[in-house]
Structures are given as C-alpha cells and as structure tokens.
Structure 1
C-alpha cells in the first residue's frame, strides 16, 4: 500500500460533534470541507448564504463555545462550508470523509449511498457513531468502500478529550486500521484505542456501566445527588463533574439511550440488569429534565432567594445551584456531604494511597467504595475478551475518554488483586475464570515495570508483554529504580541513553527551594556524566508557578533578607538552566504559570503539549515576574526591534503581555505571545509523547555539538523615551477603569524594569543589570499591603482579590 497523506478532510454533518471535529482537524493544519443540509426554507432559494445557513450557524456556535474548539482563532480559515445538495460532489478531491450525521442507521446509509457516487476509490471513509454497529453501516456498499470503511469514535469535546476509538469491520483493510491508529496518535494527539464492534464499544460500555451501577447504589444505600458527587469526583481520581454533573453535561436522554442499547443488544451480559433504567430516571426523561440542554437535570441553576448586601434586587442576586431530591422530586439548595472516611483521606496527596484508605473506611462511604469497586472489577474482568483482548485498552479508554486518572485494572492493582478477589467473593461478586487462572499461575498484578518499561498481563498468552509504543511514551515514574538523586520534592532519573529526567510532585507543581535545588542538582550531575536533562512530570498540571505561600510568609514577617535570597536563588537557577554546559529541555503541559513559564523561557528547547496553558501571571497577585521572566521579555523585545518601526512598539507588546497577565490557551497561542520561539521550540500533539520527544531533543542538541551560550551584555533598553509612553498608557487604562490603583503601582514598576530604569537615552545593558532591577521591584512590591492582600486571597480561595 502506498504512503497515505491526509491534506484534506470532508466532514459530513455540522452538529455539536461535526463542527468540533472539523475545528480540530483545521487546528492541526488540514483543509476541511464541512457540509450539512440545506434548510427547509431555502430549498428553492438560489442564495448561497441562505442555503448554507445551517452549517454556518453551527460552525459559528462552535467557535463561540467555551472551552474553545480551536487552538487559535485563525484556523477557521482552513474550513470551507457547504451543503449536501450543492457541494457533496467536491468530496472526490478529499483524502478522508468523516460522517457525523444524526444517530440513525437509515439516515447514515442514505448518506453513504450519496457518498459512493462521488467518492474516489481508495479514499478513507469513517463514521463517528457512538453506538450503531459499524458492520451494519457497511452493508450494501462496494468492496472498495468496505475495505476503506471504519468507525472512528471521537469524544466530545474532541480537542480536549483524548480518546479516539477505532472500530474496524471484518472487511476493513488491516493497513487502513494501522494508518488510523497511527494518524490519530501522531497528528490528532489522541489515545487511539482499537475496539471490537460490540455495543457501546469500550469507553461507553464501561463508563455507562459505572454510572448505572452508581444509580443502583443510590437506591440501595439511600445516597443523595450531592453525596454521590462528593464521593465520585477528584477524591477517587475522577473529573470534578463526578457522576450526576457528568450525566447533566452528556444529556440524560443520551445516557438512557446508551444504557437501553446495551440492555437490548447484550443478552449475555452477566450484569445486564444494571442497565435497567430506574423509575426515577424514566420520570426525569418524561419531565424533560435532561440536564444542561433543558437547563434542569440532576442540578438546576436558580436565582438566589435574597439580594446581595447593598440592595439591587434579584437582578443583582446572581444564581446558585440546586440539586434534585429523589424523595420529593424537587430542587433544593445543595447540602455539603460529609463522611469520616473522605475527610480522613483528603489530606493524602497520592491517589493510590488515598484509594486504599477510602476502600478501608468503616462508615457508609467505605461501604460505597467497596461495593462500587467490587462491581466494577467484576464487570471489567468479564469484558475480556468480549470487548477487548487486552486489558490496557480498557484502561486507556477510560482515562482518555472519561478523564480517569488511573484505569480500572490499575485501580485493582492498587487495592491488591489477590486480596480484593477474596473480599469480592465473600461479598458475592464473581470474577471471570481467567482472573483465577492468572493468580494460580503466580501472576499477582495486571501491570508491572521492568527496566523502565511497563508490561501488561496478556490474557491469551498468560504472560506479560510490553505496552505498544513504549519508547515513544516515557512515563517518569517507571524509572524509579533508576533514581540518580532525590529530595522530599523531586526525583532525578536516568532515562537511558545518558539523559537525565527531573520531576517534582509538590501541590499544583509549585516551585520552592527544594525544586530549585533539584534543577541545580540535575544540571550539575548532567554536566559531569550525561548528555543533558529533561524537565517534565506526569501530574495533572506541569506547575502553577512559584511557591507563593513561602513568599507570603517571608513578606508578612518582613524577612526581606531571606526573601531577597530566595529571589536570587530562583533567578540563579533559571540562569543555571540557560547557561549550563549541557542542553536543558522542558516538556510542559496543562497549567504552566509564573515561575514554570520562566523555566520554559530559559530552557534550550521546549517540547510543549498542545494543551499547555502558559503565561507570566504575577501581575494578578500584585508582583512582577521575578525569576528572570521580565528580563527575558526585555531581551527578546530588544532582539525583535526593527529599524522600520518605532522601538517602543515591540516593547509595548511585550509589556502588555505581562501587564495583563495573559495566559496562552494553547501551545499555539504560546508562540503568538512570544513565550515559545519559532524555529526552536515545538508542539507535541499527543501529550503522552512529549517526554520522549524532549529526550530525543536533548540527544540531538548534544550530538550536534552543543555549545554553552554566552551571557548577554548587549541588550538594548530604551529608558525615559519608552517609560513615558508606557506610563501614559497605564494612566489611560486607569482612567478607563480597566486598572485599579494598585494595578497602576505594579504596572509602573514593571515598566520601569522593562525600560532599563530612568535612563536618559537608549543604552546597552547586561542580563544581570536587568535581573537586579527585576529583583528590586519584586522585593519592593512584597512590602505593599495590597499585594499581600492579593496573595492571601489566592492562598485562601484560589483567586486574587481586585484591590
């Protein structure tokens, strides 16, 4: 088979999924044709806008949605819209056709009949169905169509949920399946999971089972909506939306439809009765309480009963969320759920340790966790090999599709497979025969790590096998037995090939003294014996920045010498990373704020996940970037200045990025904000590959003859001429009420540093000169009462007060 290249994709159907799938493809640089029906009122019209109103409105609605379906706003230029009547013939020039119309087999088959009239032989054709058997859609189609036809089930929203289920039919060419698995991984950034053509495939089969099993426990244990969501959210490594909020977002009618589909089409499912819809759920559907789409489901937003202090009536009262009472079927104010087991487990940061504590609880919560996990473990054991031959596919699907931090089989490992099986049997929960055979053969876990590689238990061969693509998906914790150095916050591993890997596991990835010690140690050890260092982690976020709690404590106690030393240490560590004798590559993902952004700015290269939200946010807490971030923006502004435009333009743009605490909402925006460097830093679409790509970059930089950079002494600063312009702009923001009095104080300090101080004319200065100015401004702001109020507000509630 010749090499397949995807340049153009046609998406048929512009609903919620179709429009967002189109946006995601456009986001990776592919030309997209998005088609839908001609509105009934425009069937006889010759007006193009009228005939394309349905598809254009759908696309605009997607682009306005939050969170955004695109990495940058200009990607919409890669999407062309049209309608089935006028434009379907254009699919003959497209490389991949994705059908995303309504979930009805007859309508999908009608679309495919039309597609066959224009589709060029060899073109990929896939369906984004969540439940209709893939093989039924292929019936009656040509051999070439069948050979290139497959199910590709994206999860909503497709930019953010990483799961892509690939579901072939018996007729699908193996080369097509291999291509889709690889393309989804490399180019779409997905966890691609190969599924069998069984009802609800993998993720929805297990995920909906989990929700329906919880619904059963609601009746059995008399638990409330608020109690269930308190028990099944982040405390057990699940999303904040937990159970009932997730159901509201997905749509209760959709949930019921999938559950009924499993019940009707899986007569041999040993837990089939779990999928019987409870009477109260049927009542909700009958009452049109379908969740967010009808503005009421398990939760409902209601106007507050009394206005806020100061009057203003109900218009200013805001809204509060009520939850459904199953006994009265009325909405009542949310009640904070409290369980002794949960309260005892909350302080435990490590999820695996926390799960053990939760399942050992002696109260109602402990009973719930045991029943829930025993039922889940029993269910997944019986789904092998029905829905998948390999256990890791089940875990991958649940983590990527439902946002679980660890998979179901991995959770079973955490609780102890052998001991849990005994408890399950005692409680009346059966396991599949292969589980007993596995234990009898001496295999006590589903996963294990050997030489930095993760192995899974293969049921068919009764042996352990390496997870596919292990070299491309480096997980830091898998190298624990190759630890080179550690302290209470960090670990430094040998990742192989003479490359070190540093990770830290503080709360929210905050950067304090021990993390700085870790960076310094990693660089020093690499300079002695290794090619370089990768700095990354596998936490939910890379880092929320410097340890503001420490800054607050030192400032409130007026320990200014200590604070000065702490800032110097931060600056020196960033400069150590920049001017080391070996390459330092940072691989950030998710939140990468403040000090973590400064670390990225000072690295030799950044291998950033596409979903990286990066920025210098210190202005929000009444400070300026003090770890070299301000200095680095001045340096870059100086290098970007052009003779054909005023010098202040580039500096002003850089100033505004910091002064407004802009955060890039994707790695692509990180380039637009000048945080990432074109031609040097790179975006890795699949987050799981970024550490391996960073390691590869370290080796490439070292092997190509890495030379230690030389500290800069030629940075052009503009002095008074630019300072006056920036001050005028700050005052204008204040007069327009965009900035508070304290915002003005902080912004003027920032402007002073970025202009190099009150110099009479443009001057060439050194990096250290700017670092000293930056540190002095940072220290002075730590003595401001309003800055301390902002920091305290962040520490208490997570958001800075506007003062």
Structure 2
C-alpha cells in the first residue's frame, strides 16, 4: 500500500518531544502533542490539565535557537494529555514516543497506545539508550511489525541525523518508508542502524571524545589546547570537544560512555570508555555543563560588567582565564583551505600537535574499522551519522581516504594500532580508497561483497564536485560542470563563498556557455554556506586607495552579472543554503527561480557595514515594492515595508521566513527541506522551464517610483530613529541614501522609470558611501574581527 503521513502524535513534551513536534509542524505536518495530565492543586482548585504540555511547548518556542522555521507553524500543533486525549491517536498515521528513559514506563505507555492506534499505524521510540527490541514485549504482531526506533538528535531542527533502528519483527517496508520520508519530507540524513548500544553516532562520537580525554592526560595537554586542536581546523564544529560536552551535558556523556562500557564486553577499546576520576568528580560536583551553569567552561562577569569565559583546570579544579594554544604546526595548517590537504599537513607535524593528531586519527580509524559489521554493515552509514549528528565536515572513512589508506595503515601498525581484517583484504585486492566516484555518482566499498556499491539516493540528488570528470570550464575560483540532460552547474570555492571578480566572471561565462547549447544553468555551492556576500576586502582596498574608477567598474560588473542572470536566454536557477547574504541574496533575487534549503539565512545586510545593496538589491526591492501595490492600497505602504527590511539589515532565520521578508517570491521560489536535493530540484525545474517554451523576461521600464512624496515620509522616520538613539548618525546617513534610491530620487511626482535608471542611482550612492570614513571603519572592522563596529 502507499503510505502517507497526514498527522503525527508525539507522546512526551520534554526538551526532545516538544522540539520534534515543532520540526514536524515546520515540515507542514499537523501534530498532536501529549503529556501527563497536570494534577490539580491542593484544595481542589481547578487547573488546566494541559498545563504541563502547554508550558513545555511555550518554553520550546521561546528557546534559542528557535525550533521552528516561522512562528506560524505552531498553529499546526494541538496539545493534550494522556488521560483525555490518548484516544485521539486513532487519527494519526505515526505515533512517536519521547517519554522518560525507563523501559517499564515506555512499556506501560505502549500497552495503552495499542488500545487506540489503528492497525498499520507507525509506532516508534526516540530512545537513545534502551534496546529497541525490549520495548515490544507483550505487544501484538501488528504493533511489532510497525514498530522501530527513530532516534532524532537534539536540536531536531538543526542536527540532520535521524537514526532508524529496526527490531527483528519490523517490516522491511516500514524501514524503507521511514528512510525515504525522513530524508525527503523531514530533511534528515537517515541512517539505518543496528540495535546495538548507543547505535552509530553516539557510539563513535563518544569514543572520539573519550579517546581525546585519554590523549589529553597522556600528552599533558590542557582543555584550551584540545579545543584548538579539535575544532574547525580538522573540520569539526566550533564547539570542538569540551564545549560540545558542556552543551550536550556531561551527565549525558557519562551515561552513554558507561552504557558502552557495561554492555559491550567484546569492544576492543572498552577501557577507553571507563570514566576518568576527574570526570567522575565533575558529576559529583554537579558541574554538568550549560544545564548547571558550569562544566568545563564557566561564564562570569568581570568587575567592569563584561562577560568572560573561564576554563576549568583539571588538576586544581579551579577556573581561570582561557589561554591561547600555541603549536608550531597548527598556524601554517590553518592557511590551507582544502581540508584533506590540511589533515595531511597536521598528521605530518613534528611537534606535540602532530603527535596528538596521529594518535587520535590512528585510534579512530582502528575503531571504526572494527565496528563493521557490529554496528553497521556499510561504512558510509558511519560517516553519514557522524557528519549529520556530530557536525563533522567529513566522516572517519573519508578522513582516512584523505590522508591515504595504505600509507596510514602501515604507520598505524608500526605504532601498535590494528585494523579490521576487511581493510587488509580491501588493500590486498588493489582497492586503495573507501570511496570512488564514477559518472557523477559516488560509490562506497562494501566489505561483504568486496565491491564498490552505489550510495543510496545517488539518483535523487546531485553533488556538483562528483562531476570532476565533466568540467566544462574553470578559473581560479569557479568550476562549471556538465551535470547531464543538457544542464550546466556552477560552483565556486572562495572563503565563505564570497563573490569577487573571479566569481562574477565565472557567472557571466557560465551563462554565456549555457546559452550556446544547454537548457540552462544551476548555481549552487557546497560546504557550509552558499555565499556570505561580496568580497569586502576588495571593496575596502579600492576605497581606501581612492581607486573610484576601478570601484565603479567593480560595482557595474556586479550589477551587470545579476542582470545577466535575470535576462539570460535560458533559465538560471539558484540553489542556496546556509548563509546567502548581501551579494549572495542579490544573485538569488535575480534568478528565474530559487530552490533554497530550509536552513538558508538570507538578507541584504549591507547597511551594517555602512553601504547600501549595490549589486541590484536596492533596485530590486524598489521594483518589488512597486509591484506589491494592491488595488486600493496606499502606494507608500509596500515601499515602507521593503525599506525597513533593508534599512534594518533583516536576515531571514529560515528559507520560509525569507518569503515573509520579501527576499523570495511566493508562487515562484521553493524551499527544499533536505539540502542534498537542492541541485537535483533546480535541474529538474530548468528542464521543465526550457521544455515548456522558456521565454526570457524583458527589461522593465515601467517601475513606478514615488519621489518626494514617499521620500519625505521615510526621511522623517529616519530622523525620529536618530533622535531616539536607535540609529547612529552614520546609520541615518546610509538610510537616507537607501531611501533616496528606493524612491527614485528627488522627483516631484510619481514617475515610471527603468531598471537601469534605478541601478545607476544605486551605484552612485553606493560609491558615495565608499568615501565615508565611518563606512571604511566598518569595513575594516569586518575584515579584522568578522563584525562591523557600531559608529
């Protein structure tokens, strides 16, 4: 039968339950959120029986980061209690249990659930520590057939991992459905796991943390040194090791480690999961991390009222100022952009950092090799779990590939580390890597069959870098790929996706080539972000040296590029994710269509650095404000709304919110829950547009600007913000320039103008701001610190 999920019940409204409910609602699925009935107060005073669940949901909505894409999705969540509303699960297609981690309580709840659920309804548990198969004792065959574990990671909106853990009784079609539904509809990286302690991600993740703890003690390293060694420099999150432990909860970390130690007697690295004395002491002290206000780090107020982060000294158990780590091999490696090359350099280091990296990676490689087939039959599932659940940029086997498998195995054995026999067999057969790419499709080595197998879903999503043998053109920053079916794909590899001359030239060239024999062009990037905007360093250097002719040419090139995307003779579709700010937002706004990942943070943020959007963004918002006017509506209202969005540099906190702010167009642009599908969806839309007789739009000459009538009102508002100390003098100056452009200049009456007219105004005012000292100060601050100074 064709299974659909029209309504979901979430049983338990704690931290995980409420946030899982929010994520389903964000995906457009109505949710019934239930918890225990709130007992009446002493004296029989009437109280809302749903107070427990309502308070939990309210707390979730107020939490930071937000568990919802927009506040409106909360309307899809209905609350209730187990006493009165458990019967309502009869109308749900999927029931998810997220109550306290006690087997007896879960079993009691499932006994009640079975009284009301319809046969065929999915029933899953979000447990992270209880064997899945134990939960269905005493349940019917239909219940067992439709039951499994679905382990979401916290916070569910942001961590993409969803582990699917079947029991021996789970029907195969249920697992197939959940793997597909979790990926497509919930936007998750779905990973099939075995019912082993800690499943995949926590088993390998906690091993990684515990091995780092052990190496810290052996090598005499400090917490601050470990944080420097195990963060972004090796493709891990900024929270590195100890900050991650504080966020997760040190008691949770200890619980998982003890669970592995007690329940995995055959684990060759079992002793690494033994809890160090200093960690036991932290638990005794209730220094459990963020939840108790202190753990490995502690935030305090200085005498001057500023916040300061202190680090725990594990020898004295006192907190002290953080100390910047210094390793001879670390700083040069940070300059290497390519992560695989960086890892090679780090492992080759001759100092204590190099020794740490070798021991850590040798231990990790050894451990994951021995976990097959214990926790997974497929190696790629381990990598997927670590990337999606722990935020690793590349997985353990991918890291092993990066530093060279055969060479590393030889070094590991010489240093006393073992590898699983299947790795030796793989190398002996002449297979040198765990992953290969053929015809744009990625394959992973399969130890059971001793062959390479296509990764599941490869036909459903496109990764541009997999088409390295299909490069049509490239320059220092960009690569243009033939991604099949007469469609081109462009990406660039600058830091944070910044857009400079090379990238602008690459976009122009890509469009030109697409027009000469292809159906269209997809523009997308890989890595953490689509684009953080224009190259601020280039703008600053040209401005500080007063090279205004060159600066004028640079701005013209940016404008010409976005307009080239708008008026190409073939469809141009942009597929952003992560940050899509400034110029990245402007490029998206000029595409025929946008397929944005749900987690896309987009906006015109130039006002923060003392500039106005200069790549067509100001023009485009003026154009859209004119088009926003509805019959009988005052013309200045849409303009004021658009102006405020840009003047306050509002950034959408999700792709869904980008529609509300006007960056994306309702009925045109689309949101893709799973970023892995962005490029494939964009490619599909190009083929549809082209095959249905695509006609390029005509440059606009009918944009109604309001001139002085609207300009006066905007200037009055700016003046009020300035006098009320909500805006600095320079903020006000920049806002006045923005208002001037969006109103079409100092026109005596409403006038129809062209796009080029507005682009010229935009460019002139952008250039004038580049000559302002306070703008230069802001640009310099961004270059040095990553944040603009408020002046």
TM-score after normalising by structure 2:
0.99
The residue number in structure 1 matching 2:22 is: 23
Q: 1:715 to 1:462 in 2, by over 3 A?
A: same
The residue number in structure 2 matching 1:32 is: 31
Q: Given the alignment, which residue of 606, 611, 618 partners 1:618? A: 606
The residue number in structure 2 matching 1:175 is: 173
Distance 1:456 1:749 in 2: 55
The residue number in structure 2 matching 1:144 is: 142
Q: Is the 8 A contact 2:234 2:343 kept in 1?
A: yes
State the shift of 1:52 in Å. Answer: 1.6
The residue number in structure 2 matching 1:8 is: 7
* 1:43-62 mapped onto 2 (5 Å cutoff): 47=46, 49=48, 51-62=49-60
The residue number in structure 1 matching 2:553 is: 565
State the shift of 1:46 in Å. Answer: 7.7
Q: Given the alignment, which residue of 269, 272, 284 partners 1:271? A: 269
* Residue segments in structure 1 that go unaligned for 5+ positions in a row: 308-316
Distance 1:9 1:252 in 2: 32
State the shift of 1:44 in Å. Answer: 8.7
Distance 2:7 2:630 in 1: 37
Q: Secondary structure at the match of 2:309?
A: strand
Structure 1 range deviating more: 180-189 or 105-114: 105-114
The residue number in structure 2 matching 1:162 is: 160
| Cα distance per residue 1:364-408 (max 9 Å; x no partner) | 000000000000000000000111110100000000000000010
State the shift of 1:48 in Å. Answer: 5.4
Distance 2:225 2:753 in 1: 60
| Cα distance per residue 1:717-742 (max 9 Å; x no partner) | 01111111111111111122111111
The residue number in structure 1 matching 2:519 is: 531
Q: 1:46 to 1:90 in 2, by over 3 A?
A: farther
The residue number in structure 1 matching 2:118 is: 120
The residue number in structure 2 matching 1:310 is: none
The residue number in structure 1 matching 2:711 is: 723
The residue number in structure 2 matching 1:110 is: 108
Q: Secondary structure at the match of 1:4?
A: coil
Distance 1:92 1:684 in 2: 30
Q: Secondary structure at the match of 2:516?
A: helix
State the shift of 1:222 in Å. Answer: 1.1
Q: Is the 8 A contact 2:182 2:189 kept in 1?
A: yes
State the shift of 1:122 in Å. Answer: 1.1
* Residue segments in structure 2 that go unaligned for 5+ positions in a row: none
The residue number in structure 1 matching 2:754 is: 766
| Cα distance per residue 1:483-513 (max 9 Å; x no partner) | 1111111111111111111100111111000
* 1:766-785 mapped onto 2 (5 Å cutoff): 766-785=754-773
The residue number in structure 1 matching 2:221 is: 223
Distance 1:457 1:577 in 2: 41
The residue number in structure 1 matching 2:88 is: 90
| Cα distance per residue 1:313-365 (max 9 Å; x no partner) | xxxx1221111111111111111111111112011111111000000000000
| Cα distance per residue 1:607-656 (max 9 Å; x no partner) | 10000000000000111001100111111111111231210001110111
Q: Given the alignment, which residue of 381, 395, 410 partners 1:393? A: 381
The residue number in structure 2 matching 1:241 is: 239
Q: Secondary structure at the match of 1:471?
A: coil
| Cα distance per residue 1:166-188 (max 9 Å; x no partner) | 00101111111111111100100
The residue number in structure 1 matching 2:723 is: 735
State the shift of 1:43 in Å. Answer: 9.3
Distance 1:333 1:640 in 2: 54
Q: Given the alignment, which residue of 779, 783, 791 partners 1:795? A: 783
The residue number in structure 2 matching 1:417 is: 405
Q: Is the 8 A contact 2:524 2:530 kept in 1?
A: yes
| Cα distance per residue 1:39-62 (max 9 Å; x no partner) | 34549958452x222111111111
Q: Secondary structure at the match of 2:329?
A: helix
Q: Secondary structure at the match of 1:529?
A: coil
Are residue 197 (structure 1) and residue 195 (structure 2) matched?
A: yes
Q: Is the 8 A contact 1:504 1:515 kept in 2?
A: yes
The residue number in structure 2 matching 1:287 is: 285
| Cα distance per residue 1:524-560 (max 9 Å; x no partner) | 0010111111100111111000011111111111111
| Cα distance per residue 1:109-135 (max 9 Å; x no partner) | 111111112111111110001121100
Distance 1:66 1:255 in 2: 22
Distance 1:293 1:464 in 2: 45
Are residue 658 (structure 1) and residue 639 (structure 2) matched?
A: no
Q: Given the alignment, which residue of 572, 582, 588 partners 1:600? A: 588
Q: Is the 8 A contact 1:471 1:692 kept in 2?
A: no
Distance 1:351 1:161 in 2: 22
The residue number in structure 1 matching 2:539 is: 551
Distance 1:790 1:233 in 2: 28
State the shift of 1:692 in Å. Answer: 1.0
What's the RMSD between the two structures over aligned residues? 1.0
Count of residues in correspondence between the two structures: 791
Q: Is the 8 A contact 1:607 1:684 kept in 2?
A: yes
Q: Secondary structure at the match of 1:773?
A: helix
| Cα distance per residue 1:735-767 (max 9 Å; x no partner) | 221111111111111111001111111110000
State the shift of 1:441 in Å. Answer: 0.8
Distance 2:666 2:771 in 1: 38
State the shift of 1:258 in Å. Answer: 0.5
Q: Secondary structure at the match of 2:287?
A: coil
